[in-house]
Amino acid sequence: YAYFDKREYEIAIEDYNKAIALDPNDVLAYYNRGAAYTMKENINKAIFDFQKACDMGDEISCKNLQKALQNR
């Protein structure tokens, strides 16, 4: 989260990748990685992560998914 807050999105994405590798059911890691991809304007990867987190029941991810789909 610290790297995201410092706008070091690439490093944040690497950390979220590690978190997901350790726990593939970590909803927040998918949501946060999707947010980092959004900041890097990689909408397709953001959509994938928001969809994954939405499928796990995260309502905020579902809302962000809809926004990302509209901005594609």
The model's pTM: 0.94
Residue pLDDT, tens place only, 35-54 = 999 999 999 999 999 999 99
| 19-24 average pLDDT score | 98
Q: Is the pLDDT of residue 72 over 90?
A: no
| 6-30 average pLDDT score | 98
Phi-psi region of 6 (alpha: psi -120 to 50; beta: other; left: phi over 0): alpha
Confidence at residue 71, expressed as pLDDT on a 0 to 100 scale = 83
Confidence at residue 47, expressed as pLDDT on a 0 to 100 scale = 97
